[in-house]
Structure 1
């Protein structure tokens, strides 16, 4: 495995989270949430009770302020049995980062302690029907109205926006006369604000955390809902996407390793022609390549996290980690399904869930094509 890349303290932390997931949450619970399209409220509360949301929040705001590497290890383990399950904890983190680094003192006081306690959740609303990879094409409007803003528009794929006690971080155009990137702002909007309605989408993945189409019809929020400066939304979202891509890459890498472990467990006990199928060379070589791929994903994630913790510009490293972790998850899950054969078609095998979520991983937070374009740009191409 890749323990040689981790310190003894990091290994102990990772193993603590892994033991918690296996004993206090269980893969059966994760599977049930996926099958029933049910948000994992019980598990969310258990993680909050451990105090682990504090890793994202400075001590002065009620958190513990660990480094990003510790967050990566946490999410790698929380997402081991499901990308979607890990996303339930990663999605709120994106908005927390914006509040920590760009929020007002009142926003920090109002939201961060309740987030650490597990009493408030966050979701992010960027994508629109006509603004996906082209984020600057956002057309949702937030017009100045007295001492606040009036929001109108439609957002797509707002993960977990329907969950209880949720606050959406909405990217909206506050200055239609400014440049495509200069007129965007971020606003904190509680999901129960009058004028908001949403439809949960029946997607092939994200069945537990869920994703939504959200409609804003004259939604009024105070000026204090603005995160950072008016017109500064593009810069904040750029920072957000870098963090999102790394944390999600950690989840993909954790799930890829579990896909390998599940396949090995099956191959060493399933017998055909008088011996375990793991003894056949074609299976053995496939398993070896699967493990190699899973290790590549983890090592790229660790490199990117370390680079960010050192304060370096890490756009290339983060995009590489996200690209490879997503594609390798899909690859190893598919190969695992092939080895399990008909058994892989059953939900209790879990491989079909890993495979579904691996496919979604190559789209969410920036498609594989977008990641390759970013990498190429850092190469001067």
Structure 2
């Protein structure tokens, strides 16, 4: 069943990316996992080779390619089982804020660096006491002349240590309506008053530099505001469909990588003289997982087509994010059960996949939030 139409150019891009990852990234994964950090040089290499923000127009340093090139990047990075390169976050969640809402001057200033890998982007919304609840946000932005003074902190920020540019959500304290008080600001690394915490010690995603960000009388030009004052909430809501689609499809690709390893393991490991894959109970378990994966993958691909066509599929995307990340957790556990103690060793890919899958139901809006959104669309 072919739902997404990949051309020969798409396939050539995939082959080039797979070769790049095998040569330039895979050998460094153990070091990144141990140090809980992915070197910026890896991001620059990705950018130089054309694997960051491939959809950005040539006038801003990009290639002007279609969205399927981004999908290919998510897929191939998932295949090598590496979360340190949060390419989907950078290229397809954060950078689109600058591309969609930035002034021409902002686009010229930042987009070429985002494409080249010289600028690593992060979005900062979640706070220690508010989660991702915009109405409870405490980080403030006070205008004083032609400057904005930022005060507050953000937590669980992916790319938090490496980030060169932060899309920051903050509120104007004088505006009573919490949704009309939010604006988005561009804050560069090195700005006085902006500091970063150390990478968190996490259960999974060890090589991803998730950290706290702190803003103490941090002054930025008013020109660093994205769009109009008070439009931040609407901007965030507008981009959530793509953000959650990235997470949903990422869950599919991650599960696909897990299952491929499980199938290969069961074909090559023997019990009582025959491969595990020849035992009916193992066959049925693998078949059940493959069936669930195929159904979810096809749904994800239909949503990708609708999204690329400009359709509003908020309900369906929320469903996909919820179901596909749950699938990733459940199937990683089942693969571990089938493969046994060998797969639980730190030297085996599946141990890391099992841990990395757990958080996917939490970020980009927890799956409970997804269910709340779906319930509202159903008139419940």
Q: Judge same fold: TM > 0.5, yes or no.
A: yes
Query: Contact (CA 8 Å) 1:61, 1:108: kept in 2 or not?
Result: yes
Matched with 1:138 is: 137
By how many angstroms is 1:48 displaced?
A: 0.9
Distance 1:359 1:74, change over 3 A: same
Going from structure 1 to structure 2, the CA distance change for 1:339 and 1:297 (only over 3 Å counts) comes to same
Secondary structure, counterpart of 2:86 in structure 1? helix
User: What is the match of residue 96 of structure 1?
Assistant: 95
* Higher deviation after alignment, 20-29 or 305-314: 20-29
Contact 1:56 1:97 in 2 (8 A): no
Q: What is the match of residue 342 of structure 2?
A: 343
**Two-structure CA RMSD over aligned residues (Å):** 2.0
| 1:378 correspondence with 2:377 | yes
Give per-residue Cα distances to partners, 1:1-55, cap 9 Å, x unaligned.
x6x2232417625742663355324545334422331214343233212213242
Q: Which whole-Å deviations, capped at 9, do the CAs of 1:189-242 have from their partners, x for residues lacking one?
A: 013211122222211123112211111111011001100110000011112322
Tell me by how many angstroms 1:134 deviates. 2.1
Q: TM-score if structure 1 supplies the norm length?
A: 0.93
- Tell me by how many angstroms 1:360 deviates: 0.4
User: Contact 2:84–2:206 (CA<8 Å) still a contact in 1?
Assistant: no
Deviation at 1:118, TM superposition (A): 1.3
| Distance in 2 (alpha carbons) for counterparts of 1:16 and 1:345 | 31
- Number of residues paired by the alignment? 378
Aligned counterpart in structure 1 of residue 167 of structure 2, from 144, 150, 169: 169
CA distance in 1, matches of 2:180, 2:137: 12
Please give the per-residue CA displacement for 1:317-336, whole angstroms capped at 9, x wherever unaligned: 22122122211111111111
Task: Give the distance between the partners of 1:40 and 1:282, measured in 2 at CA.
Answer: 43
The 10-residue stretch of structure 1 (16-25 or 301-310) with the greater mean CA deviation from structure 2: 16-25
Structure 2 partner of 1:247 = 246
| Partner secondary structure for residue 184 of structure 2 | strand
**Runs of 4+ residues over 6 Å off in structure 1:** none
Answer yes or no: is the 8 Å Cα contact 1:82–1:357 preserved in 2. Answer: no
Q: 1:318 to 1:70 in 2, by over 3 A?
A: farther
User: Is the partner of 2:347 in helix, strand or coil?
Assistant: helix
Aligned counterparts of 2:379 and 2:24: Cα–Cα separation in 1: 46
Query: Structure 1 206/43 Cα, relative in aligned 2: closer, same or farther at 3 Å?
Result: same
Counterpart of 1:267? 266
Q: Secondary structure at the match of 1:5?
A: coil
Task: Choose 92-101 or 351-360, whichever is displaced more.
Answer: 92-101
Q: Which moved more, 1:15-24 or 1:241-250?
A: 15-24
CA distance in structure 1 between the partners assigned to 2:130 and 2:81 by the alignment: 27
TM-score, length-scaled by structure 2: 0.93
**Distance in 1 between residues matched to 2:210 and 2:25, nearest whole Å:** 23
Secondary structure at the residue paired with 2:249?
A: helix
> What is aligned with 1:196?
194
Q: 1:90 to 1:167 in 2, by over 3 A?
A: same
Contact between 1:38 and 1:208, CA under 8 Å: does it hold in 2?
Answer: yes
Counterpart position of 1:7:
5
Question: C-alpha distance in 1, partners of 2:41/2:215?
Answer: 30
2:193 and 2:216 in contact (8 A); partners too: yes
Structure 2 residue ranges without an equivalent (≥5): none
Structure 2 CA distance, aligned partners of 1:44 and 1:117? 8
Match of 1:221, SS?
A: strand
Q: 1:280 to 1:238 in 2, by over 3 A?
A: same
**134-143 vs 289-298, which deviates more?**
289-298
In 1: Cα distance, 2:13 partner to 2:291 partner: 20
* Deviation sequence 1:300-341 (CA, Å, 0-9, x none): 221221111111111022212212221111111111111121
Higher mean C-alpha deviation, range 251-260 or range 296-305: 296-305
Cα 1:308/1:153, change in 2 over 3 Å: same
Q: Distance in 2 between matches of 1:238 and 1:375?
A: 15
Worse-matched range after superposition: 104-113 or 300-309: 300-309
User: 2:83 touches 2:208 (CA, 8 Å); kept in 1?
Assistant: yes
Asked if the contact 1:304/1:314 (under 8 Å) is kept, the reply is yes
Equivalence for 2:118: 119
Question: Secondary structure, in 3 states, of the residue corresponding to 2:52?
Answer: helix
Report how far residue 93 of structure 1 moved.
3.4
